[in-house]
Amino acid sequence: MKKISILLVEDEPIIAADLEDRLDEMGFEVVYSCTSGEEALIAFREHLPDLVLLDIQLEGEWDGIQTAGKLLEIRSVPIIFLTSNADEATFNRAKSTQPAAYLSKPFRGKDLKHAIELAITKKLALTEKPSKTEKEESDAHLYSDRLFIRVKDRMVRIYLQEILWLEADDYYCKMATREREYLVTQTLKQMFESLSGIPDFMRIHRSYIVNIRHIEEIGDQFVVVSKKQIPINKAAKDELLTLLHKI
């Protein structure tokens, strides 16, 4: 069974090392540990963790609450705040990011473990039961220039040029257009195989396929599509830049 992956953002090295040991004993995997929001943003795009443990006091320009806001602009993820500041003003600021938990230091290992497990359980429940107003579990049938998506009791046509990106979601994948988002009952790998003969679609990360016609910006480790920052690996970026030079 895959371990829950965690990004740890803590500016006290001794506390960070202790937390890594405790999380490992609990059966979780710390995929990256850092001390600043700026570094956390880079690591978040690269590792796509299941959960973020985030101290409110950090090195660098951003504090933990500002960092949380920037992470959530990239991708929805459970965030647990760790803090020595238990004052009401800090708590009210933290609430604006809708964290999964808010733990005041010092905290018991059992409380941390329970907070992580509850956060992941809630996330999985939302994934398995998507909001009917925003997503519908759908079958996708591909033709030359379009897909037909089953939504409830009907088939909805989506032209391939309308698709912005596809994102891995366990055994499903999310498909985004400008109007809405669909949850398709195929893996990202299966969708990529279906789209492999269509040059507009590129798999730029293990969790993302994008329609390159909709790319608005290309950064060091991400692209922007319809204001969404999507991570891109180095090989895909090199391929994309080479392709653009030929246009």
pLDDT on residue 133: 36
Higher pLDDT, 212 or 121: 212
Count of the separate structural domains present in the chain = 2
- The answer to whether residues 162 and 87 belong to one domain is no
- In the chain, the percentage of residues whose pLDDT exceeds 90 is 51
CB 176 within 8 A of CB 138: no
- Which tens digits make up the pLDDT trace of 116-158? 999 888 877 665 544 433 444 446 678 778 888 877 777 888 9
User: 133: Cβ–Cβ under 8 A, 6 or more apart, which residues?
Assistant: none
Q: What is the pTM of this model?
A: 0.57
pLDDT on residue 139: 62
Task: Give the residue numbers spanning the domain of 17.
Answer: 5-128
Helix (H, G, I), strand (E, B) or coil at 118: helix
- The answer to whether residues 118 and 143 belong to one domain is no
End-of-domain residue from the set 105, 128, 151: 128
Distance CA 156, CA 149 (A): 5
